[in-house]
Amino acid sequence: MGFVILAPVRIYNLNTIILTGCLGVLIILYGIITSSINYIGCSGENYNVLNHFVSELGQYKCSEKAKIFNLSLIFGTPFLIFYYLKIIPDSSRNIKVLFKWIISTIGLSAISIGIFSMDNTFIHVVSALLFFYLCFFSSLLFNIYFLFMKKQELPKHFVISGIFISFTTLINIIQFHQLDVNMLVILKNRPNILFVCIIEWICLLSMLLFFISSVIFFRKKVRT
């Protein structure tokens, strides 16, 4: 979820911070995997990442384990908010405040996605769009800050994962806006492959890879 940045946190706190972030990710992954395995759609179909949105896992009228998926977002996200807030860069006060607001808003939008499921289409779509827009701008800010302003050497996997998030979230936003206004009608006669669904999953995968990159980076800081 979101973006990771460097901070001079004490070594003995780093392990706790990392474990907290990992717990948040594991909770959300549990919700995704459990709900997708038990998913039987409104048309009796199994879940397929090639033509199903992530949010459909939390649609109560179609997903058998929708409650688990939505609760995983609601309870897993706060751990990630804590993780990201604790690793805000040691920079000017304005930069810190900006990062805090972005991280908190991304987290609240993710929680809103769990609270207002796809059954509440309008609020859910607004929350999802806010989430992806903020993820795009936050990753863009991360890239600009560390590549051009901070001038701090970062591992290549860290830099690449940050760029990957910016790229995938931008494509996801563009694709989503190109959908027919009545998205639910499309999903009733969904094609075998729906590109916007695929890019949404790739987008979330890029966030997971970015989180993993951050954990690898900070684990190395603990050892040095």
What is the mean pLDDT of each successive set of 10 residues along the chain, which is 224 residues long? 46 80 96 94 87 92 92 97 83 78 94 93 90 93 75 74 93 82 66 88 95 84 62
Q: How far is CA 29 from CA 33, 116, 173, 188, in A?
A: 6, 19, 23, 27
Predicted local distance difference test score (pLDDT) of residue 49:
93
Q: Domain limits at 91?
A: 11-223
Asked, for residue 187, whether it belongs to a domain, the answer is yes
What is the reported pLDDT for 96? 80
Residue closest to 46 by CA, chosen among 203, 192, 186, 195: 192
**Would you say residue 6 lies in a domain?**
no
Q: Is 71 within a domain?
A: yes
Residue 4 lies in a domain: no
**pLDDT number for residue 201:** 96
d(CA 93, CA 84): 17
Give me the pLDDT at residue 211, please: 94
Answer positive or negative: Cα dihedral of 114, 116, 120, 125: negative
Q: Tokens 């992806």 appear where?
A: 132
Residue 114 lies in a domain: yes
In a domain, 1, yes or no: no
Question: How many distinct structural domains can be found in the chain?
Answer: 1
The predicted pLDDT at position 220 comes to 73
Q: How far apart are CA 190 and CA 216, in angstroms?
A: 39
Kindly state whether residue 210 falls inside one of the protein's structural domains. Answer: yes
- Domain for residue 80, yes or no? yes
